[in-house]
Structures are given as C-alpha cells and as structure tokens.
Amino acid sequence: MSEETKTLTQEDENKLIAQRREKLTALRENGTAFPNDFRRDSLAAGLHGLYQDKTTEELETMQVRVSVAGRMMAKRVMGKASFTKLQDMSGQIQLFLQRDNLPEGVYNEGFKKWDVGDLIGAEGVMFRTKTGELSIKVDKVRLLTKALRPLPEKFHGLTDTETRYRQRYVDLIMNWDVKETFKLRAKIIAFIREYFNEHEFMEVETPMMQVIPGGATAKPFETFHNALDLAMYLRIAPELYLKRLVVGGFERVFEINRSFRNEGVSTRHNPEFTMLEFYQAYADYHDLMDLTEDLLRRLATDVLGSATVKYQGEEHDFSRPFKRMTVFDSILEYNNDITAADISSIEAARKVAEALSIPMKNSYGLGKIQLEIFEKTVEHRLKDPTFITEYPKEVSPLARCNDTNPFVTDRFELFVGGREIANGFSELNDPEDQAERFRKQVMEKEAGDDEAMHYDADYIRALEHGMPPTAGEGIGIDRLVMLLTDQPSIRDVILFPHMRQEAEPQD
C-alpha cells in the first residue's frame, strides 16, 4: 500500500464505512461478496417507454416478467413491504418488495440490511402502484456489489464543486443532468464525425508527442523519450501534420483529439483540451465559413432539436446567416471613438492601445496592436454567431496572404456568446513565404517570446513538394459543447478537469 493510499484510507475511515465494511465481511464469509453471474434483460428507460401507457389492469393481464440491475438510490421500508429506486445507465425504476413475495429470509436478512448506494439485481413483474407509478413487483433480488461509502444526502445531492470535479463518479451517480451533459457531448462529437465522413473527409490520427511543437502559438508541455534519447513535446495542435497529409494526397482529412497547452486553468481553459481540425484541398476560407455555418446549424437542429441555442440566458438563432465582418471594421463598429486613421498607422494605434491600458511590447507591429485592441474591445461583445475575417499577417504565421491586401490574411475566427469557437484560413502553401515567417517567429522566440513558433524544416520540405491550395480550420470542441449544453465552465464539459493536488493531511 502506498503512503498516499494509506493516509487517504485512514483519514476517511469513519463509522459509516466501518459498519458497511462489517457487512461486506459477512458477505465474504457467505462467499457471495462480488458475484458476476447476474444478467438483466431490461433497462429502466426501456421499461418506461414500453409500459408507461399501460393501465393497471392491462399490466395485470400481461404479467410481463423482467430483470433489472443497478444502484439503489432510495429505500423506503414500511414493515413487511418496501419501495426502492433502482438507477441504471438509462434512468430509474421503482421496485416494490414484500416479505411474503420473496424467498424465506431474503427480505429480513438480506434486503433490509442493504444500504442505499448498493448495487442490486432484481426480477419480477411489471405493475402499477396505487399512486400510479410504473414499478416492478420483485420476487427475486440479490446484492451484486456492496458500496462501502455512503452517498451524499438524497435531497440536496452533491453540490460542492470541488468534490464534484475531484470525485466525478459521485457527481455522475447523484446528478443526472451532469450525465445528460456528457451524453450530449458524446452525441455532438458523434454527429461531427458523421458529418465529416459524409463529406468525404478521412479521419486520421497524428502524433501527440512531437519533436517540434507547431501549428499554434502556445507554451508546450515537455517530456523525454528515453530509448530515443530525445526531448519531446506534447502537441499544441495537429495542424502541421495534417497539412503534411494533404501534401501526401489525402485531400480531405480531419482529426478529433486532444492538444495540450502549458497554461493556467480557468472557466475557459483546461491544459488538455479537445480540438477538431480539418483540411480541405481546393477550397478557401469562404468555403470553410459556409461549411462551419452549416455544421453548427445542423448540430443545433439535429442534436439539440432547435435552431435557437440558449446560452447563459441569451438566445442565439443559428438559422439566420452568421454575420461576417473584418477585424478592422469590427473595431470601428464597436468603438465609436476610434476612427479608421486611429488604427491605420502603428503610431496612432499604439496611442489607442495605451489609452485602453493594453500592455505593449516594442516588438508589436500594427497587426498585433490591432488584434490586441480587437480582443480587448470587441471579442467579448460578439454574442450572436459572427465570423471575424482578415486577420493581420503578423499574427497569422500559417495563413495565406490576401490577394488584394497583403497586410491581412485569408483567415477568420468564429465567435458565439463572446467566445472564440473556431479559427480557420486558406493555408499558406508557398514554402518560401512559410520559411520566411518561421524565421520571424524564431527571432521572436529568441527575443523572449516563449509562445513563438519553432522553425520546422521538415514541414518546409513537405511544402516544397507542393501542397494543393487548401483551407483548414480548428474548432474547440470543449467550448462548442459548453455553448450547446449551456454550461458556464469548461470543467462542466470535461469529465476529469485538471485541478491542484488535493491537500494531504499533515502529520
């Protein structure tokens, strides 16, 4: 037993657990502690679906025999008869147990001694109680797994956020809506997968451990491969590998998986997060905006069942065309006191930024300053779905330059509810331009920006073989799920969010 396990066990041991442990010991002596030979034929929700419309008399005539298994969530004993609520993966169903309808001793020596939280299996006949609740009249019942720890109080449940995240298993047992959120998350991801498969994209898996972390500006996690004697990084994005595949001739690829960024945690950031990235050859960023709009609209209507997405008290109609606006125009639109001239020269823009008390570095060019002003004054106000386009080249080291205005790139980001949901652009497939931009990033890294990109020579080599004109996009799945499930914190859509270490009891 490890030191940590020992302290945890000793600290948490209390009378309630000790009593249950004694019951378990008795079960062990009977040789029936952890059986695995019970098989059920029905789920709670399935039974409700099949028999909710049947009357007491119909059920009496039908004599439907079922077996169910799950966790005992409530137990109400009234002398020689009892009710209990059984919870399985689908929902809950009430069981009715009578001493005289069970084999000798099962009721008094078994059931009455079991605890709320125990896992049981039961067989019986469907019926309706006097109050009309669909239930099972049980004639066989077994304890399948003894729960040593008591569940939280049944009425208020588990509300302490810290315990909910640290002991998600208890949260899932007690809070059905939490389960629903994660079921919805699974549905959203399944729908996205289906959508891209239908559009002839191929799902791929690219390295999560990379020698040169690329595809985004962010601080990576470092690790080490002993056998290869090689320093490695957890990926911050799959982008450069996916584009290598486009070079290789997989002209439509997508990947849904984790990326890692060595940054703080907040309601919007988890160190590991799930991203969808996809690349389509012979398409540009306008095509991807159209695709994104269609995808989100169908997600809302097909998965949520409504084109209107409610998020934190605000409604967003996904059936209407999403707004499209350039970074430049959006700054003017949301700042009445800023003129076009104010953000068209670096000197003027610097003054605007200083007035907004944005911390500035000498290395910032006009593009970076514009983006800072945008993030400070516009971003959080973009509630309804809005594509912001034409990001400055300076802050878009992997995006293709605009043909008419080389200061900006053919890039967009999608905002909903004041949050960035997606980022896409026509890809830079000019290897010489890309090499030049990598060199610029390396200079910034050497100047102290630890989020700046590395020079990836193999990626340049791939581009030198010729990447078809391509557009690519990344969508933050966690944030998308937050939006579609109306959750205010990223921790509510990640099953096991990262937290600080639990405090160790001091000796």
Partner RNA sequence: GGGUCAUUAGCUCAGCUGGUAGAGCAGGAGACUCUUAAUCUCUUGGUCCGGGGUUCGAAUCCCUGAUGACCCA
Place of tokens 């990235």: 277
- Of residues 159, 223, 308, 339, which one binds RNA by CB under 7 A? 159
Number of residues that bind RNA (CB under 7 A): 59
**Which residues is 323 bridged to in the sheet?**
386
**Residues 211/230, Cβ–Cβ less than 8 Å:** yes
CB under 7 A: which stretch of 207-215, 250-258, 261-269, 290-298 binds RNA? 261-269
Q: Least distance to RNA from the beta carbon of 222, Å?
A: 18
- Of residues 41, 153, 432, 458, which one binds RNA by CB under 7 A? 153
Give yes or no for residue 78 binding RNA (CB under 7 A).
yes
- Of residues 41, 133, 315, 464, which one binds RNA by CB under 7 A? 133
The first and second tokens of residue 139, run together, are 């004639």
Q: Name every residue whose Cβ is closer than 8 Å to that of residue 455 and which is 6 or more positions away in sequence.
A: 212, 435, 438, 439, 441, 442
The first and second tokens of residue 370, run together, are 């514009």
Q: Running DSSP on this structure, what letter comes out for residue 300?
A: I
Give yes or no for residue 152 binding RNA (CB under 7 A).
yes
Q: Least distance to RNA from the beta carbon of 465, Å?
A: 42
Give yes or no for residue 157 binding RNA (CB under 7 A).
yes
Q: Least distance to RNA from the beta carbon of 336, Å?
A: 20
CB under 7 A: which stretch of 71-79, 273-281, 339-347, 423-431 binds RNA? 71-79
Q: Least distance to RNA from the beta carbon of 302, Å?
A: 29
- Of residues 32, 94, 175, 301, which one binds RNA by CB under 7 A? 94
Q: What CA–CA distance (Å, rounded) separates 252 from 198?
A: 11
Give yes or no for residue 267 binding RNA (CB under 7 A).
yes
Give yes or no for residue 335 binding RNA (CB under 7 A).
no
Give yes or no for residue 76 binding RNA (CB under 7 A).
yes
Give yes or no for residue 100 binding RNA (CB under 7 A).
yes
CA separation (Å) from 130 to 45, 54, 133, 383?
Answer: 21, 14, 8, 51
Q: Least distance to RNA from the beta carbon of 150, Å?
A: 4
**Residues 398/425, Cβ–Cβ less than 8 Å:** yes
Give yes or no for residue 506 binding RNA (CB under 7 A).
yes
Question: Is residue 404 classed exposed, middle or buried when 0-12, 13-18 and 19+ CB atoms within 10 A define those classes?
Answer: exposed
Give yes or no for residue 135 binding RNA (CB under 7 A).
yes
Q: Least distance to RNA from the beta carbon of 109, Å?
A: 12
Give yes or no for residue 156 binding RNA (CB under 7 A).
yes
- Of residues 103, 207, 248, 488, which one binds RNA by CB under 7 A? 488
**Residues 35/142, Cβ–Cβ less than 8 Å:** yes
Give yes or no for residue 306 binding RNA (CB under 7 A).
no
The residue (of 77 and 230) whose beta carbon lies closer to RNA is 77
CA separation (Å) from 342 to 28, 68, 333, 391, 426?
Answer: 79, 70, 13, 17, 28
Give yes or no for residue 19 binding RNA (CB under 7 A).
yes
- Of residues 155, 177, 200, 321, which one binds RNA by CB under 7 A? 155
Query: For the CA atoms of the chain, what is the radius of gyration?
Result: 29
Give yes or no for residue 301 binding RNA (CB under 7 A).
no
Give yes or no for residue 75 binding RNA (CB under 7 A).
yes
Q: What CA–CA distance (Å, rounded) separates 99 from 111?
A: 10
**Which residues is 123 bridged to in the sheet?**
67, 140
Q: What CA–CA distance (Å, rounded) separates 323 from 391?
A: 16
CB under 7 A: which stretch of 158-166, 227-235, 300-308, 394-402 binds RNA? 158-166
Give yes or no for residue 161 binding RNA (CB under 7 A).
yes
Phi then psi for residue 234, to 5 deg, are: -75, 140
First-last CA distance in the chain: 18
Beta strands 91-98 and 134-145, pairing class: parallel
Give yes or no for residue 348 binding RNA (CB under 7 A).
no
Q: What CA–CA distance (Å, rounded) separates 47 from 202?
A: 39
**Which residues is 93 bridged to in the sheet?**
86
CB under 7 A: which stretch of 73-81, 202-210, 214-222, 451-459 binds RNA? 73-81
- Of residues 77, 89, 186, 190, which one binds RNA by CB under 7 A? 77
Nearest residue to 498 (alpha-carbon basis) of 261, 223, 206: 261
Q: What is the chain's length?
A: 507
Give yes or no for residue 79 binding RNA (CB under 7 A).
yes
Give yes or no for residue 81 binding RNA (CB under 7 A).
yes
Place of tokens 């040593």: 148
Q: Name every residue whose Cβ is closer than 8 Å to that of residue 453 and which is 6 or more positions away in sequence.
A: 214, 217, 397, 438, 441, 442, 445
Q: Least distance to RNA from the beta carbon of 303, Å?
A: 25
Give yes or no for residue 264 binding RNA (CB under 7 A).
yes
CA separation (Å) from 434 to 252, 389, 437?
Answer: 21, 21, 5
Residues 369-408 as x/- pattern, contact with RNA by CB under 7 A: -------x--------------------------------
Residues that bind RNA (CB under 7 A): 11, 14-16, 19, 74-81, 83, 94, 96, 98-100, 113, 115-116, 127, 129-133, 135, 149-150, 152-163, 165, 264, 266-267, 359, 376, 488-489, 491, 499-503, 505-506
